[in-house]
Amino acid sequence: MSQQGLPYRFFPLGDSAITIDFGNCIDENINLEVINRYHQLKKDLLPGMIEIVPAYSSLTIHYDILKISKFYPDTNSAYGVMTDFIEEKMKLPVTNINQETRLIKVPVCYDPEFARDLEQFTSTKNISTEELINIHTSKIYKVFMIGFLPGFAYMGEVDEKIAMPRKQQPNIVASGSIGIAGKQTGIYPLISPGGWHIIGRTPLKIFNPEKTDPVLLRSGDTVQFYSISKIEYENY
Amino acid sequence: MKIIKAGIWDTVQDLGRYGKQHLGINPTGAMDKYAMQVANALVGNDLNEAVIEMHSPAAGFLFTQPALIAISGADFSPMINGEEVPGLHPIYIQKNDVLQFHRPIKGARVYIAIAGGIKIDDWLDSMSTNLKAKAGGYDGRKLQKDDQLILRKQNLFTNTHQEYFVLPWTADLNWMHSDNSLNENIIEILPGYEWERLTNSSKEMMTNASFEISQQSDRMGYRLNNVPLTTTSNEEIVSSGVSFGTIQLLPDGKLIILMADHQTTGGYPRIAHVITAHHSKLAQMNSGDVIHFQFTDQKKAEQLYIKQQQHLQQLQNACMLRLKEYFK
């Protein structure tokens, strides 16, 4: 499947990176374009282009000024090489590269012991814990992007009934904590300050530096949570 | 070499871990990459060889075997066996010599490079310490008392001296002061994508006012003590890639400059970006120091960086020749 790409603009992110922006928003279609373009561009990177960072609605390409100027000695500037590259590549139709979408099932223990904000959350939203669990586990979420911490997946979108703006004051959050902020849900890969409402915890290690592939989730993956008991959590 | 006294914030760093930001794994790496590469050049290493980065108070070391080292970056008055030694020179250290740092005089981060490098397992193709991930560098943590650092490659430079000695040449960094760098407080910037959001008076403030680096500053970022800047739009920004040098506007109107341990993505307005050639200068500033921002353009920023890198290359070649000549 291939089609004409969505409109975009690009701008320099300092002198060693450039961002391609598809509209500064959280939107499934735009995010799909970001992920498809990410895979497409990644294959074609030129010497001196270091890496691409996909986000909700943007791609950032980091590059090495010196390497690009060596590789293109006649060019006016590395930034010029980058803009030519982007304009040329973005003319190509976007292809849906991520054909096989992975579905990752994530066990969550919603026991209050692992869910510091559960009580406040359910009372503010005026729902029972059972309802919260049902709503949170009934939907398959999309991983929009990975950022903030190693392996931290921004997923969405949650049902309006369990959406809640992030907390005013961040506090220390345990590794594996499942949080909600706005219409996003996420998993804390390691202990960290965080401002999301914590409603459960997974025993699954979503970041493990000892593995050759240390991060479990990728942009474009889908995730479904399922509820486990405290005993199942402890024996996982 | 063995650490006989821990410093406050000492880590093993190289040029950084790239290619993993799509996984949320930030690059880390040396804060002052220029100084780190100068130290490597002086001892004949690859420029990307892992070095020790230290803040003040810095660690003390006992050498358990002879080594050729170089100290660069900040001046923390280095001493070997109680005698002052200069930075920016190769120094040949003998077994049982003790290297310590007396007091901070200038700068914020000092680097020690050791000929042959440090033997450490790499993590995802880099030896840089990622403290948040608890990975890379020395067990993913800061250096502590009694840690042992081993040479990665045999020291090729041998001699018959009994005592440590300072080699008679130095890295000349005076060229760096030939341009704007003359004024140490000037940090050159490029406008960020949300620059236009600033009100006119805030835009003027950006280049007219001085910005003090606050106490809440570390390897992740420098928070600035500024009169709050104001914007004409509060449109939210969804998280997007950021970089070393990105200057973000926080909700309270203060600025933060992202440094080596910055996160991969951020959602605050990007007001401006410190040019890459000035990262080194910025990395040597302490809290309490004052910055004056000055705009430059993309082309000049690139040229200054290329000039820096060419200088490093020349320095590396010259050092290699001298070392080979001296130890032949």
The answer to whether residues A51 and A156 belong to one domain is no
Whether residue A211 is found in the same domain as residue A114:
yes
Query: What is the value of ipTM here, to two decimals?
Result: 0.96
Partner-chain contact B276 A65, CB within 8 Å: yes
Query: How far apart are the C-alpha atoms of B86 and A128, rounded to whole Å?
Result: 69
What are the start-end ranges of the H helices in chain B?
33-42, 200-208, 279-283, 298-326
The predicted model gives A51-62 an average pLDDT of 98
Q: Quick one: A109 and A205 in the same domain?
A: yes
Pairing of strands A192-194, A197-201: unpaired
Contact A19 B276 (CB under 8 A): no
Mean pLDDT, all residues of chain A: 94
- Closest-CA residue of A relative to B140 is A209
Say yes or no: A110 and A79 in one domain.
Answer: no
Q: Could you tell me if A12 and A37 lie in one domain?
A: yes
- For residue A115, give the CATH number of its domain: 2.40.100.10
Comparing CA positions, the residue from B124, B228, B240 lying closest to residue B192 is B240
* Domain co-membership, A67 together with A111: no
Domains and CATH numbers, chain B: 2-171+309-326 (no CATH), 178-296 (2.40.100.10)
Domain boundary among A60, A95, A130: A95
Check CB contact under 8 Å for B265 and A145: yes
8 Å CB contact of B132 and A148: no
Residue B229 C-alpha, separation from nearest chain A C-alpha, in angstroms: 20
Q: Which of A95, A118, A142 is the C-terminal boundary of a domain?
A: A95
CB contact under 8 A, A214 and B276: no
Domain end point (choices A76, A95, A114) = A95
Q: What are the chain A neighbours of B309 within 8 Å (beta carbons)? A: 66
Does residue A111 sit in the same domain as residue A171? yes
- Say which of A14, A56, A76 has its CB closest to residue B245: A14
pLDDT in tens, chain B (328 residues): 999 999 999 999 999 999 999 999 999 999 999 999 999 999 999 999 999 999 999 999 999 999 999 999 999 999 999 999 999 999 999 999 999 999 999 999 999 999 999 999 999 999 999 999 999 999 999 999 999 999 998 877 877 888 999 999 999 887 665 555 556 799 999 999 999 999 999 999 999 999 999 999 999 999 999 999 999 998 889 999 999 999 999 999 999 999 999 999 999 999 999 999 999 999 999 999 999 999 999 999 999 999 999 999 999 999 999 999 998 8
**CB-hemisphere CA count at 13 Å for B40?**
25
Please tell me whether residue A138 adopts helix, strand or coil conformation: helix
Domain residue limits at A68: 2-95
Same structural domain, A51 and A6: yes
CATH of residue A83's domain is: 3.30.1360.40
Task: Return the bridge partners of B270, or none.
Answer: B248
Do residue B22 and residue A21 have CB atoms under 8 angstroms apart?
Answer: no
pLDDT, tens digit (0-9, with 9 covering 90-100), for A138-172: 999 999 999 999 999 999 999 999 999 988 888 89
Helix (H) or strand (E) holding B111: strand B106-114
- Give the 3-state secondary structure of residue B266: strand
Facing residue for A60 by CB, picked from B18, B20, B240: B240
Same-domain check for residues A120 and A88: no
Count: domains in chain A: 2
Same domain (yes/no): A113, A220:
yes
Whole-number Å distance between alpha carbons of A133 and A200: 9
**Pick from A56, A77, A145: CB nearest B299:** A77
Give the β-pairing of B290-295 and B186-191: parallel
